[in-house]
A = this chain, B = another copy of it.
């Protein structure tokens, strides 16, 4: 059951939908955050919040109930915290829709509807989890309150495959080599971003670098940078700024101006120069995290090559008991 069908069924069985809760952990949560960001900005009716699954269980929103829609994501499908959150949502009578690439996995073992996507290089974005989450927002708003940028969302999603292909070539020729080199010289550095794309700032840090490269780093929100973190900036401190093509770009531009003049070590990945200019300005902020994700994959692969550290290697995750 895809996003469109899920929203239709939610409205039929649990309508009106008053809250939408996005549930995941780590990389899966990261793929849902832009949809949460979009709903908060765009919806006049639906409340939205994203939770790391265990927080949803320990600090359950009192509103969770028969008019809530719970969208959960677990790439692997085996995340115990997500399963626990789903059982709770089921008890509360919420409409539940679960995305996973793990056919037959734990998160598919429930009375709720599921969407199984195939995570392959050639899978079109429209079929993948992040775009499906954005479609949930578009469908829900269209049905309940109207949404002017509805067509722009679908048009933007269709453009993503081409944008990403072009951006992959660009990041390889422009940024990958230097990024890997800088990693050899910095045991620690900062990633910055803003808006919905801050999900990928966080994701690049905790998934691509900490998890897959055992590389220490920290994620800083461009707007928060000036309220503390910028005091650490000085020559030799490395900043990687991932600039948004959306309304939060002004925050990144301000951060860039400061970084440029206060350290000699920085890199910029500008979503506007990486193809997002082709997407309607009303929705590009919500879709650009998808493009940025693929850039992060290229960047970590480049680092992995230089460090002889395959990004697929884990020492604890799925290996130890914890």
Question: Residues on A close to B: CB < 8 A?
Answer: 25-29, 37, 40-45, 47, 49, 52-55, 58-63, 79, 81, 187-188, 194-195, 205-207, 210-212, 214-221, 223-224, 226-234, 237, 246-248, 250-251, 254, 257-258, 262, 285, 314-317, 322
Contact = CB atoms under 8 A, between A and B. Distances in A.
A316 B231 contact: yes
Nearest to A24: B227
Nearest to A141: B62
Contacts of A251: 54-55, 58
B62 A26 contact: no
Contact of A228 (B37, B206, B227): B206
A195 B314 contact: no
B231 A210 contact: yes
Contact of A232 (B29, B214, B220, B322): B214
A254 B322 contact: yes
A250 to B, nearest CB: 7
B254 A223 contact: no
Contacts of A25: 223-224, 226-227
A27 B232 contact: no
Given A316-B262, A322-B254, A26 B211 contact: no
A81 B207 CA distance: 31
A188 to B, nearest CB: 4
Contact of A188 (B188, B254, B314): B188
A137 to B, nearest CB: 12
Nearest to A212: B231
A52 B220 CA distance: 12
A12 to B, nearest CB: 24
Nearest to A41: B59
B81 A61 contact: no
Contact of A317 (B40, B58, B231): B231
A194 B205 CA distance: 18
A62 B42 contact: yes
A322 to B, nearest CB: 5
Nearest to A227: B26
A290 to B, nearest CB: 18
Nearest to A315: B231
